[in-house]
Copies of this chain bind each other. A is one copy, B any other.
Amino acid sequence: MKLEHLIAEIRKKQSFLCIGLDTDLEKIPSHLLQDEDPIFSFNKAIIDATHQLCVAYKPNIAFYEAYGILGWKALEKTIIYLNENHPEIFTIADAKRGDIGNTSTRYAKAFFEDLNFDSITVAPYMGKDSVEPFLAFTDKHTILLALTSNQGAFDFQTQMVNGQELYKNVLETSKTYTNSKNLMYVVGATKAEYLRDIRKIIPESFLLVPGVGAQGGSLEDVCKYGMNSNIGLLINSSRGIIYASKEKDFAKAAASKAAELQNQMAMELKK
């Protein structure tokens, strides 16, 4: 998907919400467990109920890999369902992959060609030749981990390297990679004030922001410091939406939670 289509969709829906499909058989409503493919049944119901309120879905691949072949089948069905029924939706494989060149190419093919995701999250530790194989797919987007929303982010990401924090070094360095205009970045909302500095380095790029709500970040602060003229934000919520209810009304409850966020986003877009 081209960036201009994503931006147009955000303006149309007045939403920059991404819904994380972290589907866990221990957390979905028990009546779904009778279905042939409970993971897909759950995802389909969530998508049907929320697709007009969000612009992106982000399955976290760990949740599918944990179920082996059954999980992969459910992931395949989910992405096919999205691409066939909602081609206007931006899809993110939250895989946090990264390896030496020819191996990263394998991951890129798996997620960009076979599964036909629009984007994938990638870890930066192995550097240029681990990231560029993803960027070589110029009609796709590579979302690099910069500043994550977990406590462990302070172990290395905020350590000083050449006078600036490592995550800023990652932002600066990644700008020199071939096809870097197709980069987006993961920036946790728990440190919204950091977004001001981040925007000095990457004013144009889209940011995928986890950690609003459950992990404590404020939507207003993220928009204040992170929004640019093309919006430039995708705010992710996973558990807060998809597990809003464990009963038969789960899809309706998810839509209600998504609508709350979408309403707040519409207000931010009007500012």
Contacts and interface: CB of A to CB of B under 8 A. Distances in A.
A125 B98 CA distance: 11
Interface string A179-201: 00000000000000000000000
Given A151-B127, A161-B159, A173-B155, A63 B145 contact: no
Report copies per complex.
2
Interface in A146-183: 148-157, 159-162, 166, 169-170, 173
Interface in A75-118: 76, 94, 96-101, 103-104, 106-107, 109-110, 114-115
Interface stretch (A1-9, A49-57, A66-74): A66-74
B145 A125 contact: yes
Nearest to A173: B155
A267 interface: no
A100 B149 contact: yes
A110 to B, nearest CB: 5
Contacts of A98: 96, 123
Given A98-B96, A103-B60, A151-B129, A124 B69 contact: no
29 contacts: A62-B97, A62-B110, A63-B103, A65-B107, A65-B110, A66-B106, A66-B107, A68-B114, A69-B69, A94-B99, A96-B97, A96-B99, A98-B123, A123-B126, A124-B125, A125-B145, A125-B157, A126-B152, A126-B157, A127-B150, A129-B152, A130-B150, A131-B152, A155-B173, A156-B161, A156-B166, A159-B162, A159-B169, A166-B166
Interface of A: 22, 60, 62-63, 65-66, 68-69, 72-73, 76, 94, 96-101, 103-104, 106-107, 109-110, 114-115, 123-131, 145, 148-157, 159-162, 166, 169-170, 173
